[in-house]
C-alpha cells in the first residue's frame, strides 16, 4: 500500500519541539495516507489452481499484493457462463469500488464492452482480447512467437521425429499457438510429423476443462509414435500430463510441454514435473502486475498492449535442467525473431 507522508518542519522553542513535531507528523500520516487500491480479478473457468492460464494471472496479482499491499477480490466463471453472467460479475466488482477490474480471458470481451462505459472512472483490463474503450487495457500476447521456441525444443528433443499438439477450444487464439509451434518444429526438422487434436469447437467452454478427452487424444498420438506433446488447452492439459506419465514419462523418452505458466514448478503439476521438458511462458503475470502498478502509480495502462518476445511477454521456461541441451537452438531462433530476421505467422498454412 502506497502512503503519502508529509513531514512538518515548524520550529518550536525548548522542550515543545519534539512533541509538536511528533503530533504534527502523525496527523499528516493519518490525513494523507493513500487509500488502498482494491483489485477485482475475474478468472475464466478453472480459476486459481488451474495449472496454467488463470494461475499466471494469480501470480501477477500475488506479486502486487506483496509489493503494493493491494486488496484483492477474486471471482471465477463457470463453464456455462454466457455474456450476461460475465457482465454482471464485472459490473458488481466495479460498483463495489474495485479499480482496476481485470478480466482473464477472451470470453469476457462482450461483457467488458458492455460494462466499461458504465464506469468511466474505473480502469479495466482484459487478457487475450481487444476491447475498444478509453478506460480499458487490452493485453495481447505473441503466443505464436513463444510457441515457435518450444517447437524448436520439441523437434530437438524428439527421438521419433513425431510430435503432438493439444488445443483447447478450436479458435483463432489457440490456432496461433499451433501455428507457431508447427513453424518452430519444421525450422529444426522439416521432415517432422505433427499430430493435432482440439478438445472442442468454438463456443464449447468445456474444452478448457476436459482432461479425459486430452488424455485419450494423447494416448492415441503415443500409439502412433509421438514422443513429445505441447498442450495449449487450459485445464484439459492435465490429461496430456497423465497420458505422458502412463506411457512411462521421461524415463521412457516421453515428454510434455506446458503452457502459460512454468508448469515444472507449479504445485498443481508436481507429480508430473520430471516429464515437463519446458513450458511456453505467456507472461500474463507480468501484464496483470503492470495493470495494477499503473493504477497504484496514477498512470493507468489502457489501449492495446502487445506483449511479444522483445517485450519479454512470451518465452520458454528453463526450470528443468534437461532443457539446457536444447537452449542454444531456441535462443538462436529467439534472437532472429527479435531482430526481424524471422517473422512468425499467427495463422496456419495449408
Q: Determine the pLDDT at residue 32.
A: 52
| Set of cell numbers at residue 324 | 539446457
| C-beta separation of 199 from 207 below 8 A | yes
The strand pairing partners of 232, in sequence order, are: 167
Q: Determine the pLDDT at residue 319.
A: 97
Alpha-carbon distance 105 to 85, whole Å?
14
pLDDT tens digits, 312-340:
999 999 999 999 999 999 999 999 999 99
| Ranges of the chain with pLDDT below 50 | 1-24, 26-31
Q: Determine the pLDDT at residue 50.
A: 82
Domain boundaries 144-282+320-338, corresponding CATH code: 3.40.50.2300
What is the DSSP track for 6-34?
PPP-----TTHHHHHHHHHHHHHHHHHPP
Tell me, yes or no, if the pTM score tops 0.85: no
CATH number belonging to the domain at 38-141+285-307, selected among 3.30.70.360, 1.20.1250.30, 3.20.20.80, 3.40.50.2300: 3.40.50.2300
Whether the bond into 173 is cis, omega within 30 of 0: no
Identify the H or E element spanning 348: none
Alpha-carbon distance 297 to 2, whole Å?
9
| C-beta separation of 142 from 315 below 8 A | no
Alpha-carbon distance 196 to 174, whole Å?
12
Alpha-carbon distance 199 to 219, whole Å?
14
| C-beta separation of 155 from 188 below 8 A | yes
| C-beta separation of 292 from 39 below 8 A | yes
| Set of cell numbers at residue 225 | 509414435
Question: Residue 309, Cβ neighbours under 10 Å: how many?
Answer: 21
Alpha-carbon distance 205 to 222, whole Å?
26
Q: Determine the pLDDT at residue 309.
A: 97
Q: Determine the pLDDT at residue 34.
A: 63
| C-beta separation of 224 from 235 below 8 A | no
CA distances from 301 to 122, 224, 294 (A): 12, 47, 6
What is the DSSP track for 234-293?
GGGHHHHHHHHHHTTGGGGT-EEEEEES-GGG-GGGGGGGGGEEEEEEE-HHHHHHHHHH
Domain boundary assignment for the chain: 1-34, 38-141+285-307, 144-282+320-338
User: What separation, in Å, do the N-terminal and C-terminal C-alpha atoms of the chain show?
Assistant: 52
Residue written as grid cell 505441447: 230
Q: Determine the pLDDT at residue 53.
A: 86
Q: Is 144-282+320-338 in the same CATH topology as 38-141+285-307?
A: yes
Best CA proximity match to 119, nearest among 93, 139, 151, 145: 93
- Dihedral sign computed on CA atoms, order 256, 262, 265, 266: negative
Q: Is 95 helix (H, G, I), strand (E, B) or coil?
A: helix
Q: Determine the pLDDT at residue 58.
A: 95
Amino acid at each position: 500500500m502506497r502512503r503519502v507522508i508529509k513531514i512538518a518542519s515548524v520550529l518550536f522553542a525548548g522542550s515543545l519541539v519534539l512533541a509538536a513535531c511528533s503530533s504534527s507528523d502523525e496527523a499528516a500520516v493519518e490525513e494523507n495516507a493513500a487509500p488502498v487500491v482494491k483489485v477485482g480479478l475475474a478468472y475464466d473457468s478453472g480459476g486459481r489452481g488451474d495449472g496454467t492460464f488463470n494461475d499466471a494471472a494469480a501470480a501477477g496479482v500475488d506479486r502486487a499484493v506483496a509489493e503494493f499491499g493491494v486488496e484483492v477480490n477474486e471471482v471465477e466463471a463457470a463453464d456455462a457462463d454466457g455474456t450476461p453472467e460475465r457482465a454482471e460479475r464485472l459490473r458488481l466488482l466495479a460498483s463495489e469500488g474495485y479499480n482496476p477490474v481485470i478480466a482473464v480471458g477472451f470470453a469476457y470481451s462482450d461483457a467488458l464492452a458492455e460494462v466499461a462505459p458504465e464506469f468511466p472512472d474505473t480502469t479495466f483490463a482484459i487478457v487475450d482480447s481487444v476491447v475498444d474503450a478509453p478506460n480499458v487495457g487490452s493485453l495481447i500476447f505473441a503466443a505464436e512467437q513463444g510457441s515457435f521456441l518450444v517447437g524448436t525444443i520439441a523437434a530437438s528433443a524428439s527421438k521419433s521425429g513425431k510430435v503432438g499438439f493439444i488445443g483447447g477450444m478450436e479458435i483463432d487464439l489457440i490456432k496461433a499457438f499451433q501455428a507457431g509451434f508447427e513453424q518452430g518444429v519444421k525450422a529444426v526438422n522439416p521432415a517432422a510429423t505433427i499430430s493435432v487434436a482440439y478438445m472442442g469447437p468454438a463456443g464449447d467452454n468445456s474444452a478448457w476443462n476436459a482432461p479425459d478427452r486430452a488424455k485419450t487424444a494423447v494416448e492415441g498420438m503415443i500409439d502412433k509414435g509421438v514422443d513429445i506433446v505441447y498442450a495449449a488447452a487450459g485445464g484439459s492439459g492435465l490429461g496430456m500430463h497423465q497420458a505422458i506419465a502412463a506411457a512411462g514419462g521421461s524415463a521412457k523418452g516421453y515428454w510434455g510441454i506446458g503452457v502459460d505458466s512454468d508448469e515444472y514448478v507449479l504445485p498443481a503439476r508436481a507429480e508430473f514435473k520430471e516429464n515437463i521438458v519446458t513450458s511456453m511462458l505467456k507472461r500474463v503475470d507480468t501484464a496483470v502486475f503492470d495493470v495494477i502498478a499503473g493504477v497504484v502509480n496514477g498512470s493507468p495502462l489502457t489501449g492495446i498492449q502487445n506483449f511479444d518476445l522483445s517485450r519479454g511477454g512470451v518465452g520458454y521456461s528453463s526450470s528443468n535442467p534437461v532443457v539446457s541441451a536444447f537452449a542454444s537452438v531456441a535462443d538462436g531462433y529467439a534472437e532472429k525473431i527479435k531482430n526481424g530476421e524471422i517473422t512468425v505467422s499467427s495463422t496456419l498454412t495449408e
